[in-house]
Amino acid sequence: MATRGVQQLQKLRIRYCEYGGSSRAVSDYLQQSQTSPSNHLINFATQHPSVQIIIKPRNGHHPYIQGEYLTGQSKQICVKNTTQGRIKEVMSMLVNTSGRKITRLGGLAVRGDCVSVQGVWTPMLNLDSENSFDIKIVEN
């Protein structure tokens, strides 16, 4: 995601195990990117030249993809036992987010553009009941 024309994602780290079964999709994705003519990872890198892609094996652990943003925030998504399509989705999702935490806008349930002129209800405002008052205008 670009904020004011600046791409927010700086680094994309892909960590996987070279021998583990949970990393099979990630290692197949990386090997397919090197051998096939479609080169999914190379296409991704050419589409997003400002993103630095770091691939490191981390043996004995589950695979994950981590995005580091300009704000200093990072977002890590586990991709164990997934498909190559899911890996592409995770990478595009990390590119399309700003890295900021989701915050609530306010404590009110409904926000309106116009301020209400009705005011607060009191028993004195109920003019249809038996306790209604007669208003007399006295001129001097």
Q: DSSP string spanning 56-85?
A: EE-TTS--EEEEEETTS-EEEEE-TT--HH
- Helices of type H across 15-130: 24-35, 40-47, 84-95
Q: Mean pLDDT of all residues in the chain?
A: 83
Name the residue with higher pLDDT: 121 or 71.
71
Domain assignment present for residue 113? The answer is no
Structural domain span for residue 56: 2-95
Do 16 and 58 touch, CB atoms closer than 8 A? yes
Q: Which of 15-24, 33-42, 95-104 has the lowest mean pLDDT?
A: 33-42
Does residue 20 sit within a domain? Answer: yes
CATH of the domain at 58: 3.40.30.10
Q: Which residues pair with 9 in a beta bridge?
A: 69
Continuous segment of H or E residues that includes residue 10: strand 9-16
Count of domains for the chain: 1
Write out pLDDT tens, residues 58-88.
999 999 999 999 989 999 999 999 998 999 9
In-domain check, residue 76: yes
Give 133's pLDDT tier (boundaries 50, 70, 90).
Answer: low
Q: Phi/psi of residue 13, each to 5°?
A: -100, 130
13 vs 20, higher pLDDT = 13
